[in-house]
Amino acid sequence: MKKYEKIRNIMDRGCKILGSDYAILGGAMTWISESNLVSAMSNAGMFGVLASGAMDGDLLKNEITLTQSKTDRNFGVNLILMNPKLHDLIDVCGEKKVSHVILAGGIPDRDLMEKIHSYCIQVFSFAPSLSVAKRLFKHGLDSLIIEGSEAGGHVGPTSTMVLLQEIMLNMTEYPIFVAGGILRGEVFACMLQLGAVGCQLGTVFACAQESLAHENFKKALFRANAKDAITPVQLDKKFPVSPVRAIENIGTNEFIARQKEVLQKFEDGEVSVEEGRLSLEHFWAGALRRAVQNGDTERGSLMSGQIVGIVKEEKSIQDIIDTILTEAENFLKVIAARALFE
C-alpha cells in the first residue's frame, strides 16, 4: 500500500490544481513568506506562496527569481488588491511565468482576472459570502479560498465553520480551499471529505525551522494561548477597518491610537476612506516587520491565528507535513474500519 494512500485519493483534485504532491498551501505571510520558506515548502511537496505585501515590482521580480533558483516546483504569488502598484506586480508575475496568483485584500473584478489569465496564470481569491463567491466564479475565478476569522493576519468577521456551511457546502462543484484554524490531520481530512480541494495554513509555518522570523517572534507564539490572538476593535462604522488577528501587546493599543488619528483626519476631510485604510495597512506592515525582523514582541505585531494555542515547538516543514498526513491517514483508516463493522 502506498504511503498516505487514502488521503492522497481525496487530495488528488487539489494536487492537480496546484501541481503539488499535497493539497496544502502555505498561506502568504508578509515579511515571512520569502524565497527560503516558499521554496522549502514547495520542495517538501506542498505549495508555497510568496507574499508581496510590502513589495514594488523590482523587489517582487527579485524574490520570484530567487525562489525559482531554489525550486523547480510550482509556487504562488500573493498580491494585495489595494497595492497602488498592483498592475506592475501582475506584469512581473506574467513575465516571470508564475503559475498561480492569490489575490487578497478585496474582491477582484472581471477585468483584473482577465488580465491575469492573459498571462496563463491561475487566479485564486477570497470571498466573505456565498453571493460574492458565486460572482467571482462567474467572472472567471479558478479557485476560491474561504478563510475564517480564526486565521492570523487580516481576517473577515465570519468563522471557518460558518463559511464552510454558507459557501462550500453550497458550491461543491467548484474548487474551494479552506483556511483558518486548521492544523491537525484529522481536521484536514474532514475538510477534504466535506468537499474542499485542500487547505491553507499560515501560523504553523511562520514558526517552522525554515521560517526566517526572529526567534523572539516564534517564542512569543509558542507561549501564547488561543485566546491571546485577538482582533482589535473597529472604532467607527463610518470608517471600516479590516480586523487583524495578532497576539495582544502594546502594539495592539498603538493600533487603536493610530485608528483614532486616522478617523479624525477622515472626519476633518483630510483623507479619503481609501487613503486612511492604506495608512492603517502601512501601520500593520511596519509593526509586523518590527516583530518578525527585529524581534520586537512588545510594539511589533505578533500576527497569528487562534491555532497558535497548539503550535508549541519549532518543527521542520517536512515534519509538519508528515504529521498532518499521518494523522489524516490514520483517521481515514479508523473511519474505514468502523464502516466494515456496520
Q: Which is nearer to ligand FMN, 263 or 292 (CB)?
A: 292
- The set of long-range contacts for 237-242, using a CB threshold of 8 Å and a minimum separation of 24, is 238/266, 239/263, 239/266, 239/273, 239/276, 240/273, 240/277, 241/277, 241/280, 242/105, 242/154, 242/155, 242/156, 242/277
Asked if residue 34 binds ligand FMN (CB under 6 A), the reply is: no
Asked if residue 48 binds ligand FMN (CB under 6 A), the reply is: no
Asked if residue 197 binds ligand FMN (CB under 6 A), the reply is: no
Taking the complex as a whole, the smallest distance from the CB of residue 244 to ligand FMN amounts, in Å, to 9
- 49 phi and psi angles, rounded to 5 deg: -130, 120
* 3-state SS assignment for residue 48: strand
Asked if residue 202 binds ligand FMN (CB under 6 A), the reply is: yes
Tell me which residue of 202, 225, 208 sits closest to 309, measured CA to CA: 225
User: How far, in Å, CA of 214 to CA of 72, rounded?
Assistant: 27
Tell me which residue of 6, 46, 78 sits closest to 331, measured CA to CA: 6
Between CA 171 and CA 174, with CA 173 as vertex, the angle to 5 degrees is 70
> Which of 20, 125, 149, 200 is in the footprint of ligand FMN by CB under 6 A?
200
> Which of 17, 86, 220, 307 is in the footprint of ligand FMN by CB under 6 A?
307
Q: Which is nearer to ligand FMN, 48 or 53 (CB)?
A: 53
Asked if residue 151 binds ligand FMN (CB under 6 A), the reply is: yes
> Which of 14, 46, 304, 317 is in the footprint of ligand FMN by CB under 6 A?
304
Taking the complex as a whole, the smallest distance from the CB of residue 243 to ligand FMN amounts, in Å, to 12
Q: Which is nearer to ligand FMN, 48 or 276 (CB)?
A: 48
CA dihedral sign, ordered 272, 278, 282, 284: positive
Taking the complex as a whole, the smallest distance from the CB of residue 282 to ligand FMN amounts, in Å, to 13
Contact window for ligand FMN (CB under 6 A) among 88-96, 111-119, 173-181, 274-282: 173-181
> Which of 11, 17, 303, 320 is in the footprint of ligand FMN by CB under 6 A?
303
Asked if residue 179 binds ligand FMN (CB under 6 A), the reply is: yes
Contact (Cβ atoms closer than 8 angstroms) between residue 48 and residue 59: no
Asked if residue 152 binds ligand FMN (CB under 6 A), the reply is: yes
> Which of 39, 42, 67, 78 is in the footprint of ligand FMN by CB under 6 A?
78
Taking the complex as a whole, the smallest distance from the CB of residue 110 to ligand FMN amounts, in Å, to 21
User: How far, in Å, CA of 221 to CA of 225, rounded?
Assistant: 8
Taking the complex as a whole, the smallest distance from the CB of residue 229 to ligand FMN amounts, in Å, to 9
Mask of contacts with ligand FMN, 13-32, x by CB under 6 A?
--------------xxxx-x
Asked if residue 252 binds ligand FMN (CB under 6 A), the reply is: no
Asked if residue 112 binds ligand FMN (CB under 6 A), the reply is: no
Taking the complex as a whole, the smallest distance from the CB of residue 154 to ligand FMN amounts, in Å, to 6
Number of other residues whose CB lies within 10 A of the CB of residue 176: 26
Asked if residue 178 binds ligand FMN (CB under 6 A), the reply is: no
Through-space distance between the first and last CA atoms of the chain, rounded to whole angstroms:
24
Between CA 327 and CA 336, with CA 332 as vertex, the angle to 5 degrees is 150
Q: Which is nearer to ligand FMN, 213 or 332 (CB)?
A: 213
Contact (Cβ atoms closer than 8 angstroms) between residue 49 and residue 179: no
Bridge partner residues of 25 (DSSP): 47, 200
36: cell is 527560503
For ligand FMN, the binding residues in 87-106 under the rule CB under 6 A are: 104
Q: Which is nearer to ligand FMN, 15 or 80 (CB)?
A: 80
Contact (Cβ atoms closer than 8 angstroms) between residue 178 and residue 164: yes
Contact (Cβ atoms closer than 8 angstroms) between residue 166 and residue 268: no
Binding site residues, ligand FMN, CB under 6 A: 27-30, 32, 51, 53, 78, 104, 147, 150-153, 179-181, 200-203, 206, 303-305, 307
